[in-house]
Each structure stands twice: as structure tokens, then as C-alpha cells.
């Protein structure tokens, strides 16, 4: 079977072409994730039961935590594989992809069992109220079936991009999410299954996406592998996957934890405030997901350039990506801000929830214009394999910066709008930190005397430097 190797573009294609070829499919993939997220909330909203909307909002962080587990292997594996392919070590790249498949599959199964066993504890931790707890239990109980497939699809939608398969990664995302969107109205409204229908549609979408990705590897067309014979825990593979994967996963988990905490804080303002916040976050995600797509799309290219030791190409790709992200940030922020009323009205019925939803949306999008820079720098640091800067940024944004700010503002401002304002304030502080960390990572990872006209493979010592 002929291998489909598309990494030559990473090394020789024009900067604009290589960036757009990888970023556009990634953005489309993120749009599909966004459509799926909005569809769930939209069709649940058509039940005219805002307690169901609140329940899905409360339960969503749990789902995101398990997506973060997929990111551990997806982002960690992507960073290491792209650097390894840049160094032309295909055998080791196969070992890494097989390791990511088998370990992530086991993690997904454990996660499924954990939700079922610890359901009562989970509902208490995420702040389910007496009016929403039955819906939350129903939603999470069904979602648990799909956790292993969710993890696998998240892993390989990222890893596929390392071998120049951005379009194939996009197709898998479209298949899974479009199926979910099509099934949502049927199962939620036509069949009257409500939140259970939303959960079933989500599970089916994740199963189909995972099967699509695995079929590509089983077909033998990939230069990578999920075969057990290629599985290896030697040659620093677990350490180097986790070195970048853990910070990336930790960042997503902390985002989920911060969502859980702010939902519990909003509990004091009532279920309608929780519903409004959930919708505002989804509207804000219109901008955020597209910008994440830019960062995710360029990471394999930057990793490949780093693995090949080509400093000038690395910086050229980074600069073009930064300019593209800034432009997209401004456009999407304007759309979300000026379209807030219409977007929120599509999801909420209650007048109080509607009013809060519009206010929350306009507050959250304040940081929109700079978010593109943040996501590009986060992925650039990960592409360099700089574990310590990546870890510092991960624990700072939604942890060391966000949580103390939340406590301080809650203590001095008894207002739901001010509580929501913690996130954009955090984002501005995080962008400053990301600049500092990137400069540190770049200077410590690239040999300063290396000439751009003479790209060479980095030495093993340089490859691991800084971890």
C-alpha cells in the first residue's frame, strides 16, 4: 500500500502556502466543533426548558476534561512526532504514534468507568442544583459510553497533521460533528429524548470520527502506525510525549475546572445566570475556536522546522501566522460583539437569562482581539518541545492568574458581570506572559550561531534541551 507522505511542503513550500494549507483545514475543523457545540445548546433550547440548558452548561466541563486527556496524547504526540519527522526518524515516529494510541485507549476506558462509578460525587463537584441534577446525571451517564472514542478521535485528529494530512484530519472532524448536528434535532425534538438525545448524538458522532481515523492507519496508507508491534516505551517516548502533553492537557483541564468554579460562583445568582453564562461562553467560542484552529494548524509545521534545525523558516512561518491570527481576531471579535443580541436570543427564552447572556457575551469578547496571538505563541512553545515554559503558561492562565483574580474580584465586586470579566483580564495578562516564555524557549532551544541558509538536524542534546 502506497504511503501518503505530505511533509515535503513543510520543508520546501512557500510560507504562505504551507501555513494556509494547514491552518484552513484546522479552522474548518474548529468551526465544525463550534457548530456541534452550538447545535447541542440550540436544540436543547428549543425544548423551552432553560433548566435543561443550564444542565448541559454545568455538565460540559466534565466532557471537556476528557477531551483534555485526548489532548495529552494528541498535542504531546504531535509535538514529538513533528520534531522527529523533521529529523527524518520515521521508525521512532511510528513508535510514538502507536504508544499514543494504546495508552490513550486505556485512559478512555478508565474514564468511562470513572463517570459511572463516581456520578454522585461528580454532580456535587460541578455544582448541579436540585432543578438540574437529574438532567446532568442523564446526560453524563450516556456520554460516558463515548469517552474512549472521544479520546481516540481527539488524539488522531491532531497526530494526522504531523504527516501533512490536515485535510484528512478535517474530514474526520466534519463527519463526526455533522452527524451529531443532524441527529440532534431528531433525537432531542422529534423523538423527544431531550438531554438524553443530545448525549446519544454526541456519542455516535465520536464513534464515527474515531473509526474514520483508525481506518486510515489500518489501511496502511500512513507513514505512522497504531500497530502493537510498533508500541514502545523506550527512547524517552513516554517522557517526551508527557513533557508537552501534560501542560497542554493541564491547560484544558484548568479551563474546565475554572468553568466549574465560575458555575458554582454563579449559583448564587440563580440557574438563569448559569444558563446565560453557558450561552455567552458558547458565543465567545465562535472567535476562540477559529483562533485555536490557527495555532493547532501551524504547530506541526513549526515542530518540523525545529526538528530540521531551520531557524529562519521557523520564524517566517511564525510571523505570517501571527499576522493572520491578529486579522482574524479583530474580525471575529467584532462579529461576536455586535451580533451578541441575535446570537444569544437563539438559545435562551427567559428574559432575565437573555439580558444577562448579552451582557456576559460583550464582556467575554473584550479579550478577543489578542487571543490569536496567545494561541499562536502557545503552540509555538509546544512545537519547540519546551516543557517548562509550556507548563508555566498552562498553570498560570487558568490557574495561578485566573483563580486568584476570581477570588479578589468576587470579594470586592458583588456583580455577575464583574465575575465574568475575570476571564478577559486573565487573557491580557496571559498574553504578556506568553511573549516572555516564548522568547526564553526560542533562545534556549535554537543554536544561536546556526545559519538559516544551512539548516541541519539538531543534535540529541539540543533536541531535549530545556525539558
- Interval 60-81: pLDDT, tens: 878 778 888 888 899 999 999 9
Residue 466 has pLDDT above 50, yes or no: no
pLDDT in tens, 237-247: 999 999 999 98
pLDDT level of residue 448 (50, 70, 90 thresholds)? low
Q: Is residue 3 part of a domain?
A: no
| CA–CA separation, 347 and 47 (whole Å) | 10
Q: Name the residue with higher pLDDT: 334 or 57.
A: 334
Whether the predicted model's global pTM rises above the 0.85 cut: no
Q: How confident is the model at residue 447 (pLDDT cuts 50, 70, 90)?
A: low
pLDDT band at 254 (very low <50, low <70, confident <90, very high): confident
Q: Is residue 465 part of a domain?
A: no
* pLDDT of amino acid 459: 39
Percentage of the chain exceeding pLDDT 90:
49
CB burial of 290-323 (b: ≥16 within 10 Å; e: otherwise) equals: bbbbbbbbbbbbbbbbbbbbbbebbbbbbebbbe
Q: Does 157 reside within a domain?
A: yes
Alpha-carbon distance of 181 to 201, in angstroms, equals 8
- 206-231 pLDDT, tens digit each: 999 999 999 999 998 888 999 999 99
Q: At residue 1, does pLDDT exceed 90? A: no
Q: Say if 467 falls within a structural domain.
A: no
Give pLDDT, residue 281. Answer: 86
Which range scores top for mean pLDDT: 64-68, 121-125, 443-447? 121-125
Distance from C-alpha of 103 to C-alpha of 77, rounded to nearest angstrom = 12
Quick one: pLDDT at residue 6?
64
- Percent share of the chain, pLDDT over 70: 94
Question: Average pLDDT in the 343-356 region?
Answer: 80
Q: Look up the domain containing 417 and give its range.
A: 9-457
pLDDT tens digits along 295-310: 989 999 999 999 988 9
Q: Is residue 464 part of a domain?
A: no
User: Residue range 356-377: average pLDDT?
Assistant: 90
Asked whether residue 4 is assigned to any structural domain, the reply reads: no
Q: How confident is the model at residue 125 (pLDDT cuts 50, 70, 90)?
A: confident
The residue that leads in pLDDT, 129 or 301, is 301
Is residue 325 assigned to a domain?
A: yes
Q: For residue 221, is it within any domain? A: yes
Helix axes 194-218, 15-45, angle to 10 degrees: 150
Query: For the chain, how many structural domains are there in total?
Result: 1
Amino acid at each position: 500500500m502506497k504511503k501518503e507522505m505530505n511533509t515535503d511542503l513543510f520543508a520546501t513550500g512557500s510560507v504562505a502556502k504551507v501555513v494556509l494549507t494547514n491552518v484552513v483545514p484546522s479552522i474548518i475543523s474548529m468551526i465544525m466543533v463550534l457548530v456541534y457545540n452550538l447545535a447541542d445548546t440550540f436544540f436543547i433550547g428549543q425544548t423551552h426548558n432553560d433548566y435543561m440548558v443550564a444542565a448541559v452548561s454545568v455538565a460540559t466541563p466534565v466532557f471537556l476534561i476528557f477531551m483534555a486527556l485526548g489532548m495529552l496524547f494528541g498535542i504531546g504526540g504531535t509535538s514529538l512526532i513533528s520534531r522527529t519527522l523533521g529529523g527524518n526518524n520515521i521508525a521512532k515516529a511510528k513508535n510514538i504514534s502507536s504508544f499514543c494510541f494504546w495508552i490513550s485507549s486505556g485512559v478512555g476506558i478508565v474514564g468511562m468507568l470513572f463517570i459511572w462509578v463516581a456520578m454522585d460525587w461528580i454532580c456535587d463537584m460541578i455544582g448541579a442544583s436540585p432543578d438540574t441534577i437529574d438532567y446532568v446525571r442523564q446526560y453524563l451517564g450516556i456520554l460516558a459510553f463515548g469517552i474512549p472514542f472521544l479520546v481516540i478521535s481527539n488524539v488522531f485528529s491532531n497526530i494526522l497533521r504531523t504527516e501533512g494530512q490536515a485535510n484528512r484530519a478535517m474530514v474526520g472532524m466534519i463527519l463526526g460533528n455533522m452527524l451529531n448536528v443532524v441527529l440532534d434535532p431528531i433525537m432531542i425534538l422529534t423523538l423527544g429524548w431531550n438531554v438524553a438525545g443530545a448525549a446519544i448524538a454526541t456519542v455516535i458522532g465520536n464513534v464515527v470520527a474515531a473509526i474514520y481515523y483508525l481506518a486510515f492507519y489500518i489501511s496502511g496508507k500512513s507513514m505512522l502506525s497504531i500497530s502493537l508491534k510498533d508500541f514502545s516505551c523506550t527512547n524517552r517516548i513516554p517522557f517526551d510525549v508527557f513533557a508537552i502533553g501534560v501542560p497542554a492537557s493541564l491547560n484544558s483541564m484548568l479551563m474546565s475546572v475554572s468553568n466549574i468554579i465560575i458555575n458554582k460562583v454563579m449559583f448564587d445568582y440563580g440557574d438563569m445566570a448559569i444558563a446565560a453564562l453557558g450561552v455567552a461562553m458558547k458565543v465567545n467560542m465562535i472567535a476562540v475556536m477559529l483562533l485555536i484552529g490557527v495555532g493547532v494548524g501551524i504547530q506541526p509545521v513549526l515542530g518540523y522546522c525545529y526538528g530540521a534545525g531551520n531557524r529562519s523558516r521557523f520564524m517566517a512561518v511564525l510571523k505570517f501566522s501571527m499576522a493572520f491570527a491578529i486579522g482574524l481576531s479583530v474580525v471575529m471579535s467584532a462579529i461576536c460583539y455586535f451580533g451578541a443580541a441575535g446570537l444569544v436570543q437563539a438559545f435562551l427564552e427567559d428574559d432575565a437569562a437573555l439580558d444577562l447572556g448579552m451582557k456576559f457575551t460583550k464582556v467575554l469578547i473584550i479579550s478577543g482581539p489578542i487571543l490569536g496571538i496567545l494561541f499562536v505563541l502557545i503552540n509555538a512553545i509546544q512545537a519547540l518541545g519546551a516543557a517548562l515554559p509550556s507548563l508555566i503558561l498552562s498553570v498560570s492562565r487558568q490557574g495561578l492568574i485566573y483563580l486568584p483574580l476570581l477570588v479578589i474580584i468576587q470579594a470586592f465586586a458583588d456583580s455577575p458581570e464583574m465575575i465574568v470579566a475575570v476571564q478577559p483580564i486573565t487573557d491580557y495578562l496571559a498574553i504578556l506572559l506568553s511573549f516572555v516564555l516564548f522568547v526564553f524557549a526560542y533562545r534556549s532551544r535554537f543554536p544561536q550561531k546556526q545559519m538559516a541558509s544551512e539548516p541541519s538536524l539538531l543534535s540529541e542534546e539540543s533536541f531535549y534541551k530545556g525539558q
